[in-house]
Amino acid sequence: MREFEYARGASLQQIVAGLGANAAIIAGGTELLNWMRLGIADPPRIIDLGGVDGLDRISREGDHLTVGALATLNMIGEDPLVLAHATALGQACLLAASAQVRNRATIGGNVLQKTRCPYFRSEVPLPWGCNKRQPGSGCAARNGINARHAIFGWTDACVAVQPSDPAVALSCLDAEAEVVGASGCRFIPMKEFHLTQQEAAALGSDGAELETRLAPDEIIVAYRIPVRNGARSAYVKVRERASYEYALVSAAACVELDADRIARTDIALGSVAQRPWRLATESLVGASPTREALAPLIQAAMSDARPLPQNAYKVTMACNAAVRALLTAAGQS
Amino acid sequence: MSIGQAISRIEGVAKVTGRAKYAADHTPPGTLHAVLVGAPLACGRLLEVDASAALRVRGVTRVLSAKDMPRFGAVAPPAAVLNLPLQGERIHHEGEPVAIVLGESPAAAEAGRAAVIVHCERAEPLVLGAGEREAPPSPRMLGDDLDMGDVVHGLSVAQARVEQTYVQAARHHNPMETSGTVALFENGKLTLWDSVQASGNVPPVVAAALGMKAEDIRVIAPHTGGGFGVKGYVWPHQILAAAAARILGRPVKLHLRRHDQFVCAGYQPWMSQSIKIGATAQGALTAIDHAIVNTCAIADTHLEPSSEASKTMYAAPAIRTRQWLERININLPTAMRAPVEGPGMWALESAMNELALELDMDPLDLRLAGYAERDPHTGKPWSSKKLREAYEEGARLYGWRTRRERPRQDGPWRVGHGMATCSMGSFRFPGGARVRLRADGTARIEANTHDIGTGMQTVFCQIAADALGLPLASVSIDWGDTNLRASGPVYGSSATGGTGSAIALACRDIKAQLGALGGGNDPAVILRRAGRAEVAADGAYTLPNGALFSADGEGTPYAMRSWGAVFVEVGVDPELGVLRLRRAVGAYSAGRIINPKTARSQMTGGIIWGWGKATMEESVQDPASGCWLAKNLSNVAVPVNADIPTDITIHFVDEYDEHASVIGSRGIGELGATGVDAAVAAAIHDAVGVRVRDLPILPWKILESLPRA
Amino acid sequence: MPQVLSDPSRHGDGSAQPSWSRRLAVKLRLNGQPQIAEVSPRITLLDWLREEAGLTGTKKGCNEGACGTCTVLIDGERMNSCLTLVAQCEGREVTTIEGIAGADGGLHPVQQAFIEHDAFQCGYCTPGQIVSAVACIAEGHARDEASVREWMSGNICRCSCYPQITAAVLDAARRREGAP
């Protein structure tokens, strides 16, 4: 890491001012330090969010939960309100990383983590092309090793996936991020917070650099998660070892039953695209919460998948993960 | 009686309090921190190392490149790499050191590394699959080609045949402590604190490279944070640390970054094994034909001699083995727990399990049908072999014969069972030790042996305590320093036998001296009565004909090998492709077990090592660039605690092998890591009917092999 | 709590601009002793402990937070010191393996259990395992085998002592419950 100037932010105002002065924010630091070691980020200044009060609270206000951006993944994963009203989020938090990382990693920072693509995660000098690291250099994964890469939303410029577990749950639960910037505050729906490469290209980016709708001068301060009576949710994470590893695919599902039929359901898939991938679920309304009924419907909802040469398995795996998450949420798995 | 007691490790307090010191824990005054700069591409020519920006980084003191280096003298094994870096312009592999950044702090040196610009002329690398295949040097002690009997005929008359190819990915050792060397010159003499498995290997290599006398080099290495084979031979960075210290006139600490561990030291190579076995309907083998390829580096050579398994495991009248190397632009592989049989039995035991299905025989019965009463290719009797007892007890502990009575489904998991034979040749090296018995009734062992986690120190004290008739608490040991009595390396599962035998011999000498002093029951009394402060003796364990290494009882009338059987229960989630180890039993014929507590830990560690190999570990080479895709622990998986059940049962058959060592023991450290992969693959097939012959068996390989639902 | 988090003027000391430093004097407590760490902001807690504070018990395994070897406690919570800047420890209590001991100054029950259950081999991951285990038990995550295995998975052991580590943590947790 190169040397940098450091400031402790005493207030949100100072943090926003710091962003304006080309500072990177450090909250937990579990991503930023590695970006700097690899050369992914090289900020001349770092402003520490850790000292700002009041940003880590978890509370319920009427029809929604508020989760402060500085709440750590362990805090969220063991919070009774989250376990009761946003189960998928709690599960996603506890399935992420390790206990040690979860004690530092914040929910505000976690959704801003970057892809685990090994071509991207190489240290300088890169022996291959990566459009995120060096715009215009190409995408080595596109025709290289791409077993863990995207099946939706990718372009020839980049085939990376967004690995955050909590982001998948937040998308599924229709959460919104409350963000503050130089020009005030706004809400960004989490199902649109991240951009696929195609969506980024449509916004004028070269398809590899732009990853979220967060402006450079903005910071997430909290999430609002709607609480729906009778809704239950669950998160399923598929990986080759039992813990402390990123997903091959994951799925968050939220379901409301009416008698023994699905009245409403939302499903988001993780690690299949550069954003949590929401499935169209209208066809599932009225369906029986059984594997036999759901698998073909979810498969059909994924028919627009565009696998790469090595990751066709993700279509089956993600479909089955979604079924598993839905059945778990419905309590019938 | 100390031997056979489950004694807690004597260095335990040091380790649990953080007081045990590893190489990079030493920081002599004035130490410079070194970070290597590696070649950024796999093949080509180095044009220039531009250190100008690096030298402007605050805290960077110096950047060394080839022009600053002396011409190294020629090195020979036990140097791993003979074509030393920072000497010329040819780039042999990605990550080959081309410069050394020296800084006042690790942070400064790391920042300096990132600022060095290496200009190269790229040439197209030879990558996996495109390399030249060649026959390895011959003759060779291990892995030599065998052509015994008539394999073609044997296969043609077989009533059942298996012909398959088994592949395993390259895997790095990934010890928790990366290799590291601290080098300090004082008055022309060099002291190295080094993370090694055989510090005795270091002085001759470093001396040859730097034009010094080996006796002017001292290596201090009491604790090594995991070796598994990667810290056995001498790697270039060890020489570079010393060279930098001499050039700078200051101590240098070169603790390899995790990234550099992937390219600056070895790994177990990618291997493809084609095997044909034929058998009668009763399961008697008629022929084994085993052809093996392993990748290795362009200029340096490593053969993974995995054909030994097929020569020694089962009775067969015809056995043919052939080995090849495929040279590609990558860093040099090396031995890994377990070498030789580790890969060899992935193929052989998998083929045997497939053959059992062909014959509609229980896989255990097929092993019993092929039981070799003598070494198949030499005809020698075994020094001691209690494999039948191991099969039987292992099967009993596992419930192998009644496995079909267990539930086949457990929630989302389909449950399957698999087994395999385990084996390792008894590698032996000469061993040495000095023992001092003092008039206060205490004894001290001195031997330049190493603690890589096997529990050596405790075992050696137990041996000496027994031999001298002392309580264990009265025996202590000095180890890990080339100033001490030279001894054998801590690899090849050889140290208990080699150094342990030397200790036993030294103690015999001491007892003889005590006898000459009048004898009696209490050594302390004997010495005091004789007016002696101490008696001391040197123990030397030697091999026949003064050999420096013996793989399988050469020079003796016996073939020497350790044996076992592993049984695993695996859960497969057929919807997600995920695997879980549910329980395992390992039963072993490994000679006398000195300390059942530490020995059990070695075996469970081996089984877990095998699980990792079977289900998750791989180091992938990017096909376009020839570079390792990931050089870190976040993209390369090794088992974590949640992967491993506590239900792992270990059994040792009661055995004393009087030929393999003076103390009746054989090696165990690597034995447990053999056969596991084949047992796991068989269990997966048992569970869901899927046969994967390409390790690691990742979830997508399961899904891709399952019939579409 | 404030209803409107998003109004920046409702927070802080009124000063809008942060104050930048190239060098810090971080006040922290280290194993119960007050310390002032004079560091460049980029220095990690791991490097500072090992190179400046003279405490080499905490080990470096990967320097990217992927192995847990560098685990320490910060205000009693376990964290990877390679992912922590010294700067982030202002006002905090840092506990390393050197600060883990029993109430009488002897071995902590976790340390004792590790020895008895042979829960280490090469010993390199052991300081991190022990510090992590102390916190795991205090967190209430050592209820049973499954919770220990999951909540100790942030500490990789390549010698693969996992069954012994699990047994040691469960044993130490039980002893703690039995203690007066």
Separation between Cα atoms, residue C157 and residue B357, nearest integer Å: 37
CA distance C38 to B234: 39
Topology at the third CATH level for domain C109-176: DNA polymerase; domain 1 (1.10.150)
In this structure, are residues A250 and A269 in contact, taking their beta carbons and an 8 Å threshold? yes
Nearest to C88 among A48, A185, A244 (CB): A48
Q: Which chain A residue lies closest to C82 (C-alpha atoms)? A: A33
User: What residues form DSSP beta bridges with B651?
Assistant: B587
In the prediction, which pLDDT does B708 show?
67
Question: What average pLDDT does this structure show over B528-541?
Answer: 96
Q: What angle do CA B563, B607, B618 make, to 5 degrees?
A: 120
pLDDT confidence tier of residue C7, bands split at 50, 70 and 90: very low
- Cβ–Cβ of A317/B576 closer than 8 Å? yes
The reported pLDDT for the residue numbered A22 is 87
Q: Tell which of C3, C4, C6, C157 to mutate to test the A interface (max A CBs under 10 Å).
A: C6
Where are the domains positioned within chain C?
A: 23-99, 109-176
pLDDT at C180: 43
User: In the structure, what pLDDT confidence band is assigned to residue C14 with cuts at 50, 70 and 90?
Assistant: low
pLDDT of B50 higher than 50 = yes
Task: Enumerate the residues of chain C whose CB falls inside 8 A of the CB of residue A5.
Answer: 20-22, 41
Give the residue-averaged pLDDT of B110-124: 97
C85 to A33: CB separation less than 8 angstroms, yes or no:
yes
Confidence tier at C17 by pLDDT (50, 70, 90): confident
Whole-number pLDDT of residue A129:
97
Q: What is the mean pLDDT of residues B378-396?
A: 98
Task: Read off the pLDDT of residues B640-689 as tens digits, 9 standing for 90 and up.
Answer: 999 999 999 999 999 999 999 999 999 999 999 999 999 999 999 999 99
Q: Is C125 helix (H, G, I), strand (E, B) or coil?
A: coil
- Mean pLDDT over B276-299 rounds to 97
pLDDT at B659: 97
Tokens of C89: 């420890």
CA distance A137 to chain B (A): 14
Closest CA to C57 of B481, B11, B22: B22
Q: In this structure, what token pair is assigned to residue B534?
A: 């101490």
Closest residue on chain A to C15 (Cα): A14
Q: Say yes or no: B31 contacts chain C, CB-CB below 8 A.
A: no
The chains in contact with chain C, meaning 3 or more Cβ pairs closer than 8 Å, are A, B
Say yes or no: ipTM exceeds 0.85: yes
Which residue, C96, C90, C95, is CA-closest to C25?
Answer: C90
* Per-window interface: B 638-657 vs C, CB < 8 A: 638-646, 648
Q: Are A239 and A156 in contact (CB under 8 A)?
A: no
Q: Tell me if A178 and C65 make a contact (CB, 8 A cut-off).
A: no
* pLDDT per position as a tens digit, A226-271: 999 999 999 999 999 999 999 999 999 999 999 999 999 999 999 9
Nearest chain A residue to B575, by CA: A320
Q: In sequence order, which residues have a C-beta less than 8 Å from that of residue B176 and are 6 or more positions away?
A: B225, B226, C59, C61, C67, C69, C122, C124, C125, C156, C157, C158, C159
Distance from CA of B337 to the nearest CA of C (A): 11
Contact C92/C75 with Cβ under 8 angstroms?
Answer: yes
Residues of A in contact with C125 (CB under 8 A): none
Whole-angstrom CA distances from B620 to B165, B627, B632, B664, C9 are: 20, 9, 12, 42, 52
What's residue C10's pLDDT? 38
Chain C residues with CB-CB distance to A11 below 8 A: 8, 11-13
Chain B residues 335-374 within an 8 A CB cutoff of chain C: none
pLDDT for the residue C5: 36
Determine the 3-state secondary structure of B395 from DSSP.
helix
Rounded mean pLDDT, B190-197: 98
Q: What was the pLDDT predicted at A332?
A: 59
Out of B117, B623, B703, whose CB is closest to A313? B703
Mutation site for A-interface testing, chosen from B105, B113, B608, B634 by largest number of A Cβ within 10 Å: B634
CA distance B405 to A202: 60
Q: Does B509 touch chain C (CB under 8 A)?
A: no
Nearest Cα neighbor of C96 from C81, C116, C111 is: C81
Report the pLDDT value the prediction gives residue B519, as an integer from 0 to 100: 87
A204 burial (CB, 10 Å; 0-12 / 13-18 / 19+) is exposed
Kindly report which listed range (A296-310, B137-151, B610-624, B638-652) carries the lowest average pLDDT score. Answer: B137-151
Partners of residue B229 in chain C, C-beta under 8 Å: none
* CB–CB contact B452 C122 (8 Å): yes
Interface test with C, best of B17, B60, B104, B176 (most C CBs within 10 A): B176
Amino acid letter for position C173:
A
The total number of residues shown for chain B amounts to: 709
Q: Sign of torsion, CA A212 A218 A219 A224?
A: negative
Q: What are phi and psi of C15, to 5 degrees?
A: -80, 130
Determine which of A2, A3, A6 to mutate to test the interface with C (most C C-beta atoms within 10 Å).
Answer: A6
Of B686, B670, B607, nearest to B639 by C-alpha is B607
Phi, psi of A328 (to 5 degrees): -65, -45
Contact C149 B644 (CB under 8 A): yes
**Average pLDDT, whole number, for chain B?**
97
* pLDDT band for position C3 (cuts 50, 70, 90): very low
Measured in angstroms, the CA of B8 and the nearest CA of chain C are apart by: 6
Q: Give yes or no for a cis peptide into B516 (omega within 30° of 0).
A: no
User: Which tokens belong to B346?
Assistant: 């992935």
**pLDDT > 90: percent of chain C:** 86
pLDDT of B164 > 80? The answer is: yes
Beta strands in chain C, from DSSP E residues, in sequence order: 24-30, 33-39, 71-74, 77-80, 93-95
User: How many Å apart are CA B607 and CA A131, to the nearest integer?
Assistant: 42
The reply to whether A41 touches chain B by the CB within 8 Å rule is no
d(CA A157, CA A148): 16
Tell me how long chain A is: 333
Evaluate if residue B503 carries a pLDDT over 90. yes
Nearest to B586 by CA among B570, B571, B608: B608
Place of tokens 């580790």: B342
Higher pLDDT, B590 or B524: B590
Rounded-to-integer distance, Cα B100 and Cα B244, Å: 8
For an interface test with B, which of C159, C165, C166, C170 has the most B Cβ atoms less than 10 Å from its Cβ?
C159
pLDDT (0 to 100) of residue B521: 86
Nearest-CA neighbor of A252 among A69, A93, A114?
A93
| Ordered structural domains, chain A, with CATH | 5-51 (3.30.43.10), 234-329 (3.30.390.50)
Q: B529 in helix, strand or coil? A: helix
Percent of chain A with pLDDT over 90: 92
pLDDT in tens, B93-104: 999 999 999 999
Residue B196's SS3 state is coil
CB B159 within 8 A of CB B280: yes
Neighbouring C-beta atoms of residue A295, cutoff 10 Å: 17
Question: What confidence category does residue C178 fall into, taking pLDDT thresholds of 50, 70 and 90?
Answer: low
Domain C23-99 is found in CATH 3.10.20.30:
yes
What chain C residue is nearest to A16 in terms of C-alpha separation? C8
What contacts C33, CB < 8 A, 6 or more positions away? Answer: none
Tokens of B514: 């005590």
Q: What is the pLDDT of residues A152-164, one digit of tens each?
A: 999 999 999 999 9
Band of pLDDT at residue C132, cut at 50, 70 and 90:
very high
∠ CA B335-B336-B339, rounded to 5°? 70
Q: List chain A residues with CB under 8 Å of C133.
A: none
Condensed to tens digits (0 to 9), the pLDDT of residues C40-93 reads 999 999 999 999 999 999 999 999 999 999 999 999 999 999 999 999 999 999
- Mean pLDDT in residue range B535-544: 97
Alpha carbon of residue B449 to chain centroid? 16
Per the CB < 8 A criterion, the answer to whether A102 and A116 are in contact is no
3-state class of A237 per DSSP? strand
**A297 phi, psi to nearest 5 deg:** -70, -40
The alpha carbon of B569 is separated from its chain's Cα centroid by a whole number of angstroms, namely 26
